[in-house]
Amino acid sequence: MLDLQHASHRRLNALTGEWVLVSPHRTSRPWQGQTEAKSDAVVPSYDPGCYLCPGNVRANGERNPAYENVFAFDNDYAALLPDAPQTEINEDGLIVARGEAGRCRVVCFSPRHDLTLSSMPVDDIAKVAALWRDEFMRLDADPLVGAVQIFENRGAMMGASNPHPHCQIWATDSEPNELVKESHRQRDYFAHRQSCLLCDYLALELGRGERIVCENDGFVALVPFWATWPFETMLLPRHHLGALDEFTESDMRALADILSQITRCYDNLFATPFPYSMGFHQRPSDGGAHPHWHFHGHFYPPLLRSATIRKFMVGFELLGSPQRDITPESAAERLRAAR
């Protein structure tokens, strides 16, 4: 019998088909690597120099309205442009490039500069979720859009250039790599078993309970069996939903509540505004039927053992495959205790 809590082993990521190396015996090794400095700076509720605060001028010279709830606009420095040339370079299949058109949007969660999802009331997070749904539906209807990625980078160490609570939405012509892998695995599972991969996986996890962090009537937050990041979590709706356009008001409220719960777990565990990259994966926007696709959210936090020790992808992970020391089961136990 393989001892998952003590013996080194590999775990298969059922969503991507990739393997993760788990080395639980390494958690006892001393840390002499880089640590991150903690900031005790007080964040004001309004920052006159912030380009996301209400009424302030953005980098392109436009002035934000005096918004009171949520606010969305086209990114002033968009990574994707709708008029990108649709041309291709292909030299013997060795040098290949294709034009990629798209749109980039910014969503401000609140006019308050000093808030985070973990400190916002659930009612206010529900307004953010409603705007996500509206933005998705509008972009999903655009014939030039093939996929819509909603994501939030929180914290300077995750590349967030502004602490104001906000996220980004990138609508791409093609389907991004991670969605391609997940779509392929979900489609194959559905074809062979006539059931949904993530519906079946959630039922298994609910039966075991050891990797569940928090839940409500509509959603479950868990540490996936194949997690790569030390305190990675996944959010799963209890019933089958392919994308935000299928969400009822009850679903939106449940999503807001589970986001509130899991982000507070993170902050409580490390007693700090917890850094992470978070995003939702949903069906492609190609107009086709995707009964195999199950909407879900990913949280990828970089902190390893404390608020000052960060996990980097280096060495074997860059050259071989991802590796983790803290098992998903122990991570889930620590997150549950932080509720």
Which sequence positions are flagged as catalytic? 166
Torsions phi, psi for 260 (to 5 deg): -65, -45
H or E segment to which residue 127 belongs: helix 122-140
Residues 292/319, Cβ–Cβ less than 8 Å: no
Instruction: Provide the 3-class DSSP secondary structure of residue 131.
Output: helix
Which amino acid is residue 209, in one-letter code?
G
H or E segment to which residue 230 belongs: none
Burial degree of 280 (CB within 10 A; 0-12, 13-18, 19+): buried
Residues 266/231, Cβ–Cβ less than 8 Å: yes
HSE on the CB side for 55, CA within 13 Å?
7
Residues 211/223, Cβ–Cβ less than 8 Å: yes
Torsions phi, psi for 16 (to 5 deg): -120, -15
CA distance 103 to 176: 14
The DSSP letter of residue 80 is S
Q: Which residues sit opposite 151 in a β-bridge?
A: 168, 279
Instruction: Provide the 3-class DSSP secondary structure of residue 104.
Output: strand
Tokens representing residue 155 in the block: 């914290």
Burial degree of 329 (CB within 10 A; 0-12, 13-18, 19+): middle
Tokens representing residue 70 in the block: 């949520």
H or E segment to which residue 132 belongs: helix 122-140
